[in-house]
Amino acid sequence: MSNYYRSILNTLTVPFTNTKSILLDGVDDEVTFSDLTSSGVFTLSFWMKPTVFNSNSGSFVMGSSANSQNFIKLQSATQLNFKIGNSAATFTESSNVLVLNQWQHIMLVRDASNNVFAYRNGAAFGSSVAKTTTLIINTFSEIASFFTYSGGLDEFAFFTTDQTANLTAIYNGGLPASLALYSPLTWYRCGDGDTAPTLTDNGSGGNNGTMTNFSTFSTDVPT
C-alpha cells in the first residue's frame, strides 16, 4: 500500500488528535520503562523540541539508565550522536540541521544489512553508519546521574521493523499522525490519553512508562 493511501486510511479509520506532550527540565525529570532491545532491525521515531546542544545536563534525549553505552545526544545543530551498545554512530549534516526551540521529527533506523540511518523531518540527516551492536533504551532524559535532556518530547515509537518506507507518512508534513497502521512495539503518546505518572504504551508491547519528578503534561505540540 502506498504512503498516500495509508495516509487516507489513517485519517478515515483512526480518530487521532495530538494535544499533549511532555516537557523535561534537563535537571531531574525523566520517564523510565522496561528495556527496548534490538540486536537487529529497529526503528526509533519521535518528535522533539530541544533547548540545548552539547551539554551533559540537557542534550541526551534518551538512553539506558544502567550505563552510558546506549544514548542519543544532540551534539550540535549539525551533529547527532547515537551510541549503540558502546559503539558510537555520528551523523553530520550541513543543510537539514537540528534547530533549538522548534518541533522536529527524528527517525533512526537500522536495516537488515546493519546500516543505521538518521532522518530529520522526513529527509536524511547525514550518511549511514554500519553498526551490529545491541541497542538498549529504557529512559527519556536521565541516562546517568547528570546525563539529561531539556525540552519537549512527543509521539515516541519503537519498532523491531524497518519503517523507512513509511517515513514520509509518519512525518506527515510536520503534523503527527496515528502510528497504529505500522504496528509499533511501543508507542507513547506523551500525554494524550494518559494519566500521570503513567505513559500508556499504545503499541503491542504493554510497556508503560513512568514519569519521575514531574507530573503535568504540556499543551505545546508539533503543528
Which grid cell sits at 118? 538518521
d(CA 202, CA 157) in angstroms, rounded, equals 9
Closest CA to 89 of 77, 72, 105, 104: 72
Model pLDDT, residue 12: 44
Count Cβ atoms within 10 A of the Cβ of residue 205 and give its class: 0-12 exposed, 13-18 middle, 19 or more buried: middle
Model pLDDT, residue 76: 97
Closest CA to 25 of 50, 44, 46: 50
Range in 68-72, 130-134, 219-223 with the lowest mean pLDDT: 68-72
Model pLDDT, residue 2: 53
Report strand pairing: 186-188 vs 148-159. Answer: antiparallel
Range in 105-114, 134-143, 193-202, 212-221 with the lowest mean pLDDT: 134-143
For the chain, what percent of residues have pLDDT higher than 70? 93
DSSP H or E segment with residue 37: strand 30-38
pLDDT, mean of residues 66-82: 94
Domains of the chain, earliest start first: 3-172 (2.60.120.200)
Which pLDDT tens digit goes with each residue over 28-54?
999 999 999 999 999 999 999 999 999
Model pLDDT, residue 65: 86
Question: What are the residues whose beta carbons fall under 8 Å from the beta carbon of 62, sequence distance 6 or more?
Answer: 71, 72, 137, 139, 140, 141, 143, 149
Residue 1: is its pLDDT beyond 80?
A: no
Instruction: Determine how many CB atoms are found less than 10 A away from the CB of residue 131.
Output: 18
Residue 197: is its pLDDT beyond 60?
A: yes
